A = this chain, B = another copy of it.
Amino acid sequence: MTRTELLPTETATAASDATRVAVSTVIFSLRRRPGEDRPVVVLPLVRRTRDPFEGSWALPGGWLDIAESLDAAASRTLAETTGLAPSFLEQLYAFGAVDRSPTRVVSIVYWALVREDVSFTATQENVAWFEVADLPQLAFDHNEIVDYALWRLRNKVGYSRIAQGLLADEFTLAQLREVYESILGRRLDPANFRRQVETSGNLIPTDRFRTGSHRPARLYRYDRDVELAERGPLSVAQ
């Protein structure tokens, strides 16, 4: 056997031995079903057009490019697959089980929140919005990833200003409570909720009111001096 005969095999072996890095993003939004008063949590999925899992729905994502940071790869692959550009994009977790893909792939997963109006305008081929409570069997370990992202969302809404990512700049306390109720999947007492957010010090009342079929409700905004998602030293470094 000559050296030239050996080389293609060597190259093939080297390639199949390599661990590749992918980036995926779980984007949560809210969607109001006709006739229901409380919105539900939804997320966009992309139908795969190639193997593995051709035809299955998967989280938006793609391969990490050698010359881009993880954050940049998350933004880029999200824009390419869904056309979405959320203002809040945070690293969630790295998933690296050996058997999560036919080849070895470590997926750095991000999560994001987009407002209802933004999510409605983003339409792209092979992209559809699904209710998190009613997902099909997804490609790879993506069901498990969505479960983990939902758990993080529910946890985080309790101790951070994360709900802001799902709201317009100004909102009523009823709208804010609705966001909490949708995320937590249960009703909250209006009076208790009002007391809690008013004492939290994160909300600033405006001089404006929302008018409509009900009595006028004051509009609030979040204190912009408070970070949306606390990332500590990473807010500065990256």
Number of copies: 2
A93 to B10, CA, bound (A): 34
- In contact, A144 and B233 (Cβ under 8 angstroms): yes
B-binding segment of A27-35, A43-51, A146-154, A209-217: A146-154
A64 to B68, CA, bound (A): 21
A67 to B99, CA, bound (A): 9
Residues of A67-112 whose CB lies within 8 A of B:
67-70, 91, 93-94, 96-98, 104, 106, 108
User: Per a CB cutoff under 8 Å, which of B11, B152, B232 touches A155?
Assistant: B232
- Closest residue of chain B to A73, judged by CB? B96
Measured CB to CB, the residues of A under 8 A from B are: 3-4, 7, 10-11, 14-15, 17-21, 64, 66-70, 91, 93-94, 96-98, 104, 106, 108, 144, 147-148, 151-152, 155, 159, 230, 232-234, 237-238
Given contacts A66-B19, A106-B70, A159-B159, contact A148 B232 (CB under 8 A): yes
A230 to B156, CA, bound (A): 12
- Closest residue of chain B to A144, judged by CB? B237
Cβ–Cβ < 8 Å partners of A70 in chain B: 94, 96, 106
- In contact, A233 and B96 (Cβ under 8 angstroms): no
- In contact, B15 and A14 (Cβ under 8 angstroms): yes
- Closest residue of chain B to A107, judged by CB? B94
- In contact, A64 and B106 (Cβ under 8 angstroms): yes
Residue from A15, A68, A94, A147 with most neighbouring chain B CB atoms (10 Å) = A94
A69 to B159, CA, bound (A): 31
- In contact, B94 and A233 (Cβ under 8 angstroms): no
- In contact, A69 and B91 (Cβ under 8 angstroms): no
A66 to B19, CA, bound (A): 6
